[in-house]
Amino acid sequence: MSDDNQSHSLLNFVKNIFAPKEEDVRETIEDMIEEAVDDTGNDEFSEHEQQLLSNVLGIKDKKVCRVMIPRADIIAFQKDGTVEDLAKLMVEKGHSRIPIYGESLDDVTGFLHIIDLATCLLRGQDKMSVASIEANHIKLASPEVSVLDLLKEMQQSKTHMAVVVDDYGGVCGLVTIEDLLEEIVGDIEDEYDLEENHIITLQGQGAFIADAKAYLDEVREVTGLAFGEENEEENEVDTIGGYVFELAQRIPNKGEIIEGHEGVKFKIIDVNPSRIKKIMIILPTNTEAQAVNE
């Protein structure tokens, strides 16, 4: 089958996913992907296209709470601040869109794009209050809504950012349309993305301290352990923090020790109500008791 025909088939598939339909979108996507991928004799899609479709099927039941930026990590700006300060924050953090809030983060009024600031900066209005600029609409989403359902809603409403709110109306997270798309196509990086420095250091005998955002591959390389690979095909996490969260099935308390596989233990060094921040990885050696008590 030609590349043009394969591309045309994938395009039709994507159009069908996001076309307005009355039936539940998740059931529709599941049926379409199973027909396209499960038939071993099917050559309608290339191997790469089938992988993308498999990714869609893999996240059909994933909730937004699993992919959102937790509240503690949200970069936002108070509406009484100046255009100059907001522009500096955007440059410092490498974000082109930042949510704007009133008295607290629970009072998000919308978001501003760097282009929204351009006219003010060119006119020399850098000291003007951000509140004077009309903010773009920001969508509200439940943490229990599915990734695909929210992606479909944001695509139809042409909304690029959503705040995730709990049952009490409090903001518990933030998600962008890029975050949702990355669940299907993988990481999307551009020339302005800032490289994160995930620190992993040796701590005493038989223990390492790791930033919870450190990738599992990084931790495996430093520690020489293969944990996280026992159910790699089933796991949907790629960071050490996410891995420990999966083991505990909750956010552990500071100082708590989580039992891992093959004698590996994880001591929670730093944590807040929404995420794990720092972890001690205790190797399965005869010095582990000393490491735990340090």
Residues 255-269: pLDDT tens digits? Answer: 899 998 878 899 998
pLDDT of 98-144, one tens digit each? 999 999 999 999 999 999 999 899 989 999 999 999 999 999 999 99
3-class DSSP state for residue 277? strand
Chain centre to alpha carbon of residue 49: 23
**pTM (2 d.p.):** 0.55
Domains and CATH numbers, the chain: 3-56 (no CATH), 66-185 (3.10.580.10), 200-293 (3.30.465.10)
> Cβ distance 206 to 265 under 8 Å?
no
pLDDT of residue 192: 53
pLDDT of the residue at 14: 54
pLDDT of residue 147: 87
Cα-based angle 62, 64, 67 (whole degrees, multiple of 5)? 85
Residue 48 is predicted with a pLDDT of 63
**CA 123 to each of CA 119, 126, 155, 233: distance values in angstroms, whole numbers, following the listed order:** 6, 8, 33, 54
What pLDDT score was predicted for residue 112? 94
Residue 2: how many CA atoms within 13 Å on its side-chain side? Answer: 3
pLDDT below 70 — which residues of the chain?
A: 1-58, 60, 186-198, 227-236, 272-274, 285-294
pLDDT for 211 = 87
